[in-house]
Amino acid sequence: MKIAVLVKQVIGSESALVISEDNTWVKEENASFVMNPPDNYAIEEGLTIKEKIGEGEVVIVSQGPARVQKVIREGLAKGADRGIHIEESGQIETDPLSIAKSIVAAIKDENFDLILSGLQSD
């Protein structure tokens, strides 16, 4: 079974949020970024399914700037087989429909049997 796990990088809860001058985002130099906590459960579930079946592949999928490679590496360290980084540069996309379309375009040729995600973004 080929399983995709969608993982998002979010600002850590201990970070002070300083709004950027253009009021569109936070100053990233003041924030620490972590894996979205509910996405950890999705990774664990994907790995559990793979283990029960006895074969398959778990692929971490994350969209964002270069810094999201950190959460992909965390997923690989937990036991995922590989990662897909959908790189964004410049203005980060925040519209859910645009993000969904981007993810679909990036993974449609992978023919995943199951796509997992966390419950929500913290």
Pairing of strands 33-35, 9-11: antiparallel
Per-residue pLDDT for 14 more than 90?
Answer: no
Nearest residue to 80 (alpha-carbon basis) of 111, 40, 113, 107: 40
Range in 1-5, 13-17, 38-42, 72-76 the model is least confident about: 13-17
pLDDT digits (tens, 9 = 90+) for 63-94: 999 999 999 999 999 999 999 999 987 666 67
Per-residue pLDDT for 103 more than 80?
Answer: yes
Q: Residue 62: CB partners within 8 Å, gap ≥ 6?
A: 6, 7, 8, 9, 68, 71, 72, 83, 84, 85, 86
Domain boundaries of the chain, sorted by first residue: 2-8+35-117
Which pLDDT score is estimated for 92? 67
pLDDT digits (tens, 9 = 90+) for 18-58: 787 787 777 777 788 899 999 999 999 999 999 999 999 99
Per-residue pLDDT for 15 more than 70?
Answer: yes
Q: What is the mean pLDDT of residues 98-111?
A: 94
> What CATH class is the domain 2-8+35-117?
alpha beta
